[in-house]
Amino acid sequence: MDFEELLKLLKEELLNVLGESFSEYKEESKEDIEAFLEASKVKLERWTKLLVSKDLTVKDYEWLLKSQKDILVLKALYKAGASKRRLGHLKNKIIKTIVDTVVKVVL
């Protein structure tokens, strides 16, 4: 498993998710997604390796990712006036997208 390739794929998938909900802010949100992935990179790599080796279940992996929600700051969308509720739903969708993409690629 090439983790750098997986990160690139995750970035693409997450930008698609943002494009579905906030197409007018996709470019501005790109920096937020990149910052989240960079801040989570070490943990994501460790957790993904544990998932591949079956030392983590998919449910455990998802739970660990949810622990990273606080560092997922969507500044561009917040500045644009998106409600906290809508941003919360988007964060959940982002976490689900990461889990689904990783499971599809590595398992």
Supply φ then ψ for residue 80, to 5 degrees.
-75, -5
Residue 73's pLDDT band (boundaries 50, 70, 90)? confident
Query: CA 95, 98, 64, 78 torsion: positive or negative?
Result: negative
Q: Is 31 exposed, middle or buried (0-12, 13-18, 19+ CB in 10 A)?
A: exposed
Determine the angle formed by the axes of helices 84-106 and 58-66, rounding to 10 degrees.
150
Low-confidence winner among 21-30, 52-61, 65-74 (lowest mean pLDDT): 21-30
pLDDT at 84: 87
H or E segment and range at residue 77: helix 75-79
3-state secondary structure 84-107: HHHHHHHHHHHHHHHHHHHHHHHC
Percent over 70 (pLDDT), the chain: 100
Residue 105's pLDDT band (boundaries 50, 70, 90)? very high
pLDDT at residue 93 greater than cutoff 80: yes
Q: pLDDT digits over 2-52, tens only?
A: 999 999 999 999 999 888 877 787 777 888 899 999 999 999 999 999 999
Percent over 90 (pLDDT), the chain: 60
* 31-35, 55-59, 80-84, 90-94: range with highest mean pLDDT: 55-59
